[in-house]
Every structure is written in C-alpha cells, then in structure tokens.
Chain A
Amino acid sequence: METKIRPLKMTEKLMGFVGKYWQDLWENHRAGKLVAWCSGVSPHEILKGFGISSVYLEGYGGFCSVAGISTDLCNRAEALGYSPDLCSLIRNFIGATRGTPAPGPEMLPFGGLPKPDLLVCMPYCPGIYKIWERYSRYLGVPLVVIERPRLHDALGKEEINRIMRDTISELQEMITFLEAFTGRRFDYDRLSQSIAYEQEASKLWWDVVGMCRNIPAPMSILDAFSHLFPFHCYRGEPEAVTYYRELKSELDERVANNIGSTIGLEKYRLYWDNLPIFFRIPEHIQKFASYGAVPVAATFPFYFGFPELDPERPLESFAKYSLFTPANVGLQARIDFTTKVVGDYSIDGLVMQRSRTCLVVNMGQDDILKELTKKTGLPSVVIEGDVCDSRFYSDSEVNSKIDTFMEILARQGQRKGQGDDCGL
C-alpha cells in the first residue's frame, strides 16, 4: 500500500518558477545579451554586475536527471568517445550540448542551453576544469578560471589568509577582464545588491533546511534537494528571496501545526549522505515512507548558500563563501560537520549514497561512515547510485538493501516517532 505523502504547495509552484528563469534566459540570449555558463560556485553575482545572464551547468544536469533523459545524454557523450567513468553531470552536459546524435531542443528541458559568450569556472574537481578548457576551444569563447584550493585540515591561519587574499585577487582580475570583455565599467553597487539578495536567500534556505530538525519534519530532505533549483537559477536575485520566503512560510505553518511530510507516524528519521539520485527522488521518498521513515537531514543542502555573506564586503565575503563551504573543507572538518548534522536532527539511521561517478564527494565517505558509526552507534546502509546515470543504479538491489536496513531499524524499535493522522 502506498503511504500518502503530503506534497508541498511550493513544489507545485517550483517548475513554473524555474521555467520563468529559463524563458527569460532564452529571451535575453535572443536579444543579444551576454550569457555565461558557470560551474561550481562561480561568482554569478559578479556577472550580474555586468548584466550578464548566468547558467549553472550542474543544476541543469539535475533537471535532465529529473526529466529522465540524463542517461540518454550520457550515452550521446560516450558516442563522442568520453569514458563512462567520467562524472555523469559532465557527460550529461556534453550529451546535451555536443552529443551524437545531437538531441533536439524538444527533447531537452527548457529547450536546451543557449550558446554562451563566456565560460566561468570555480572548480570543485579537476574533471570539470579540464572539460571547460575543452569547451572554451570548441566554442571559441573565453574561459575565466578562479582557483579554489581545498581548505585541508592541516592548513594554518596564515595559509588560509593567503588563500583568501589570492582568491579575492582572482575575483578582482575577473572584474578587470570583464570590463575589457564587455566594454562596461563594473557596477559595484549592483554587486553589493546581488550579495545582499544572496545573503537573504541563504539565510532563508538554511532556515528551511533547519526546520527539518522538528519532529515530525515538515519536509523530507529529499524534497529539499528539488527546492535547490531556485538557488541554481536565481543566484543573487530577488526571485530566490521571494521563493524561499514562501517556502519557509509554508513550512512554518506545518511546524506550528505539528504536520509532517507524510501522513502517519514519523517512526524513523534518516540521514542521507552525498548527492540525491535525482531520477529516483519520489520513489525513494515513497519507499522510506512505507516504513514510516523520513530522510530529514543531509549535508549537501548546506553546500548552497552562505548566511555570512556581507554586502559591505562583497568580494571578501564571496571568497569566504566559496572556500569555507562544507563542500570545500578537509576530511576531519567534513566528519565534524556531518556528526553535528546527525546529532542536531535526531537521526536514527544513516543512508550513505555512493554516487558511482562523483569521486570528489565519494572520497572520504567511508571514513565519515566509520567515524559516525563509532561516535553514534547508528545503523547504516550503503546504496549504490548515481546523480545522472541510471545504468549505475538497480531498483531491485537498492530496494532490497533498504528493506533489510529497515528491518534492522525496526528491531531496534522506533524511538522518536511523532506525527499525526490528520488528512491532507
């Protein structure tokens, strides 16, 4: 029997909201305005200061995965000679833009990607940087790269300060380059305004994710992954603030009325590690819900947004955003952060998603699990999946593992179950 999930009203609004962004993007492109393809945590806010529209490529991969076409696109990238071991987000992007046979715009979400005038990359893994180099040559457009050194645990204060100074300097160089490239003077006031919007959206987003600490959680964290899309689209724009304010308001109401994400008792609260398997998000929510379990926490949503952004010191605070995000810290810091999240959200079990082609997140996952198990004694399950490539995923295998894992949890007994049986 299917457990009833309570859909959020904002989920219904999501596609319209995101669709508007893509419509505007295409219109800007057709009107001859500049478009930049961005990767990693690239400074979209600086681009806004030049009136350049930005596209977050990894976010587009998420759309393709949700739409169920990412595996096809990965195949089209492989037909060009790219290895299936390459990150599936990258293969998805290659398949969408250069794949063979070329996918028609009717097949792609939002009609595909408008051709860029510029590439911007603040890489989180070497693969993305190398592909960007290749695309710069292929498209004949400039590539701006801002280094993003990982803040390893052993780094001292002085070394971190030096990295900060270097990053700010690279951001300033980017501005100088863009002034020459666009023939416009940079609008620092526009940058500050953009950082202010980003800060406000960040605070709201982190609040939204933090509300899942409530028992019962007003939203599954797997749902939260979908609500990241406005962040991808409207970086440093007022639309993101509007969206997250509305989402928070809806969740506030649920928390005030003790309404959970599913109908019935929330028996088990789960931590989800790594990226979501975008093409199976609804199925996973349903599968866990059939056991009265809700994934309520993850570290991935915290990779987006940075509430400490400061409009008065835009470049410095953006540098901090890019460097100090939990995605860019050393292993011990990741372990500490994950342990804190698991503690804060009253977790009963750990679901470790091993994304087959995302080495940068997978690396260290076993160490994190070992430490978490040692510190919390919580049961865990490792499921194999992938962000975009369904060939690395098996429904029967994953379902069988979840069934077994839930039997372990059930034997330990529910300990925090709360919820309600009121109607939708």
Chain B
Amino acid sequence: MILWKLFLSFAKVGVMTFGGGYAMIPILEREIVEQQHWASSEELMDYYAVGQCTPGVIAVNTATFIGRKIAGDIGGVVASVGVVFPSVLIICVIAGILSNFADIPAVQSAFAGIRVCVCVLIFNAVVKLWKAAVPDKGALCLALLVFFLSVFFKPSPVYFVIFCAAAGILLTRWGVRGR
C-alpha cells in the first residue's frame, strides 16, 4: 500500500539523516529520486527552496511536498510523520537512559567521522544537482552570488529565496534565460 510505503521510505530518510536538513539531500536523492522515482532532482530543489522560506523544519516541509504529490493530503501527513518518527523514538530512548550521550568519547569520535563523510556526500550531491540547476550563464551568476554571500555574510536564506525568485522572472523576461 502506497501510504505504508511512503511512511517507511521517509522513516528511512529520517533515520539516515545525520546533522540537519542539508545532510538529508544525498539520502533523499537516493531514496526518493533514484529508488522510488517519486520526484525528479529538479523537483527536489524546488521543494527545498520553498522549504527554506516557509516556516518549520525543512525535512518536514520536503516530506509533506513529496507525500502530497504521491498520495494527496493524507500522503503529505503520512510522509511527515514518517520522517519524524525515528527521531522521537531515538530521542526518548536517549533522554530516558543516556542523559550524557553526547559526552561519551566514542560517540564524539563517531560523529567527527560522520561529519567528514557528510562533507563528501554533500559535495557529491552539489556536483550532481549543479548540472540540473545551472543550465546557463544567468543561473551560474545567481548560484555564485548566493554561494559567496551566504558563506561570507550568513544572512537568512529567506532573502536569497525571494531575491532569486524575482531574478528568475526578470532574467526570463529579459531573454537572458537559455543563453
């Protein structure tokens, strides 16, 4: 049944995401785009962009989008419940039993290792998404602008999202798109 499949797939994504919404991108690429074919890379980026400028957790926003696309409003709710389910479970266990979990040296070392892996996975995801997201010079300018401004000045992503949506419309109207 499709709802059960949605729940399971997103629970898998939830359990394999270490370190915040952006670390979810490589996992979503694999689970949702390549294995289930529920969305394309382009759609994933569209959802991610919208999720950045709407309130709430980005992972949940993305799950709701994809779930709704596959199985309507119920699907959106089920996918979201799926993506948060492992978190609630794991946190309850850790908060109940291991209150000093984050101070255990082995845990700290394991996560130092995981962070290195997340760097590489994000790099690979960016290389892959880049091809779909940056088809021409106009898009290239936008991507570089957002990248450098956000690395050096760290403003809220909301401004970038609003600016780039407007820029997309203007660049298309001026006929720069596709060149």
**A and B pair up:** no
